[in-house]
Structure 1
């Protein structure tokens, strides 16, 4: 017996010995394989830990970085996903799946050029890579080259590709060509091949609604709820369907069902109330929130939502009543819910121009949590209002330190430095803001203004050009760049920007007005009239365009035409005082009495 026990003990010792002597490579592989298993089960938190364990052993393990990127995608943490995939391909450029995901991220970020670079790299190594070819088709579609996109997609389809992404793009192309039968067929086949592809189901439901097939749309929307009963979006889509069909009773029934779901109940109630607010039914929204509070009387979140509803209705007194009652939900002054209530109360006092009350509440919050972003934000605003820019700098520095992606924090920190007569620090602050938020047009605009005030015209122009690159459809950016070029007397370059405004948004008056002003500056009054006439033909209800056109006619001695336009507008809108004022200006120029003489 003793020998058997000794033998068993020896076996155990040897097992421990061999396990403890596993090589780093074996340990790394074990962590990685376990992480993949957890990932496939949908346990992303634990999977991430396993991949990180593998990286502790081998910091250059590219495959682990690639899987961390996949986890981040599942968790919708796109910035982290980008970082992980970038590290993976840096360590191993041949990880084509990671390269494909980077290309997708670039497409999502509206950076087609960078996506194309990735696609070219992938296809150079593997011309048949389906992921890269799908992205290439997406790039062509975005560029309105539908024939090229369809050619790639059709080839993939013939070769057996069944991804929802392919079916969705093909359906979009057929829909753009008004071939609704083919579009529907692609969506239906895509769902058949990918039963869990909710995007395809949602698109098909929308397709049915546009095609005036309400029964088919309703059936699909209800089926989506059965497949994913806890996803609020599916119930909202059905409620929206009923609301648009003017069947409010059914819509309310769906929303009440949503509010009863146990999973994420508070969030679902708030979501349902927000839906009702968008439909301008504040009474039903209030009823839903009050019922939720009755069912969960200790809920800070539901009371905050009710507060926001009253603020939206411009009833700050009722909002403050709700918040005051919320203070009794906890006796702990450091309770996050209590701190949020006091911060919200301070914000209301600030809006009502009651700085002393706001400051007392904010100080109480900061006593418990000195790094509170919202409380420091309000504190900084109070300092600015009181003319204390140095103190405001301290508060806003805390904001941007705790939340580097807080755009308004950087803007107000820059403003505080400027009020404190620290131009260099204001510029440095906004440059830091740009580094943290490179896509922020607001920070870049503010930075351009500071550079102009500091007489650094080239740096100002660089920011304006960058804004236009970030969003080529931003007509404000075009206008700002055009105004800058006009101030530099670079008339041809200014004209290009103003014409881009008109081409991009022909229904917006600003482009015509700026282009007409440019013609006036150059002394081309007839050209200004022509531009304004073109704009007014597309925007006949625009008072700024009418005023500009009347002024332009008067400058070219066409008071009679200006008078005709004014009288036509008065006949159409007899209660519009603005047009009478324009007509009065025409009469003054004509040197005739404004009102008929009485006998």
Structure 2
């Protein structure tokens, strides 16, 4: 009997403990959801993170930071409309939330709502006069509005202050290009590459600069550098192969595209994604690309089926941009060369 009473008391204590643990204050509950959402967001689990942030705002409908994180999660999930709504709400609830204002300003800029983008930058600079990202946003607005004197002055002041962010170098180079000072544009990009040797953005920007200058050696150097940074990037391999092809260096192009079946499969995956984004593009681009694959016998049907992608009748409804069409053309030129028959085996 004593043992039964003792067990009853133990079970009662445990039950009360769990009951008290589950009855935190609303603030504690919302922060628990918010922190779990942050952990999931950092882990890349955006769908589950969104649910946690939603739970947080259900408890506190004025939780600005949670709305902001909902917006960031929506951006990761490529839902721009919801992202804009949630981030706008975050700024409305907390005008001093600088990160949210900055992202909102960037969204306005992307939509070319330049006055509204500038407004967000100005509001941030009222709170934090030295905010680098807000200054870069304002300078970008000046550039698009062709207010080159204002853009130049702002960027020069930032250079004097020792700003060395990747975006600073890219925007400053764009400024010099806009005022037809290509020499300074190149100088700035080279400085940026030196400051950020592992930046893919800098390497590609410098490659584009050399392209405009007609410097093939410079393009090759930067594409190779880009491939060191991102060795599995199919697009980079194809760009370098195209350069070798145009300069009659077919054997080097062959080395770059040493697994053509996989290259084609990756491009078709890209094609499927691009097709959804470019619904009004010409259907003929896809058909022409598909015909090139068929003619060259390179997209082995067994390989395609094994990797989960089959050519079906409705596939003809897909659309492709010109750039993807050109990728197929480059590959076909390489594998069509009779001197390199071993390349397609």
Q: Distance in 2 between matches of 1:128 and 1:54?
A: 32
Residue correspondence of structure 1 range 320-469 to structure 2 within 5 A: none
Structure 2 residue corresponding to 1:239, chosen from 213, 238, 241: 241
After TM superposition, the structure 1 stretch with the greater mean CA deviation from structure 2, 232-241 or 246-255, is 246-255
C-alpha deviation, 1:134, in angstroms: 1.3
Report Cα offsets for 1:140-192 as digits up to 9, x if no partner.
Answer: 11122222112212323333433322111111122334544532343244345
Q: Distance in 1 between matches of 2:260 and 2:5?
A: 67
Report Cα offsets for 1:245-294 as digits up to 9, x if no partner.
Answer: 354665566456464269968515879xx9xx69x887643346762423
Q: Which residue of 1 aligns with 2:75?
A: 73
Q: Which residue of 1 aligns with 2:88?
A: 86
Q: Distance in 1 between matches of 2:214 and 2:246?
A: 12
Corresponding residue SS for 1:162: coil
Q: Is the 8 A contact 1:243 1:251 kept in 2?
A: yes
Q: Distance in 2 between matches of 1:19 and 1:114?
A: 46
Q: Distance in 1 between matches of 2:206 and 2:6?
A: 70
Q: Which residue of 2 aligns with 1:32?
A: 34
Q: Could you state the TM-score of these two structures normalised by the residue count of structure 1?
A: 0.44
Corresponding residue SS for 1:141: helix
Q: Is the 8 A contact 1:69 1:80 kept in 2?
A: yes
Unpaired stretches in structure 2, ≥5 consecutive residues: 274-281, 321-345
Q: Which residue of 1 aligns with 2:327?
A: none
1:110 equivalent in alignment to 2:118: no
Unpaired stretches in structure 1, ≥5 consecutive residues: 313-599
Q: Is the 8 A contact 2:200 2:229 kept in 1?
A: no
Q: Which residue of 1 aligns with 2:152?
A: 150
Q: Distance in 1 between matches of 2:84 and 2:267?
A: 33
**CA spacing shift, 1:99–1:270, aligned 2, 3 Å:** closer
**CA spacing shift, 1:292–1:55, aligned 2, 3 Å:** farther
1:206 equivalent in alignment to 2:214: no
Structure 1 residue corresponding to 2:143, chosen from 141, 144, 156: 141
Residue correspondence of structure 1 range 34-49 to structure 2 within 5 A: 34-49=36-51
**CA spacing shift, 1:242–1:44, aligned 2, 3 Å:** farther
**CA spacing shift, 1:214–1:164, aligned 2, 3 Å:** same
Structure 2 residue corresponding to 1:174, chosen from 173, 176, 195: 176
C-alpha deviation, 1:75, in angstroms: 3.7
Corresponding residue SS for 1:303: coil
Report Cα offsets for 1:32-73 as digits up to 9, x if no partner.
Answer: 122223333433333323222212222221111111222233
C-alpha deviation, 1:20, in angstroms: 0.7
Q: Is the 8 A contact 1:119 1:133 kept in 2?
A: yes
1:55 equivalent in alignment to 2:57: yes
Q: Distance in 1 between matches of 2:47 and 2:264?
A: 23
Q: Which residue of 2 aligns with 1:495?
A: none
Q: Which residue of 2 aligns with 1:303?
A: 311
Corresponding residue SS for 1:59: coil
Q: Is the 8 A contact 1:100 1:122 kept in 2?
A: yes
Q: Which residue of 2 aligns with 1:224?
A: 226
**CA spacing shift, 1:285–1:247, aligned 2, 3 Å:** farther
Count of equivalent residues: 308
Corresponding residue SS for 2:61: coil
Q: Which residue of 2 aligns with 1:190?
A: 192
Q: CA RMSD in A?
A: 4.1
Q: Is the 8 A contact 1:34 1:47 kept in 2?
A: yes
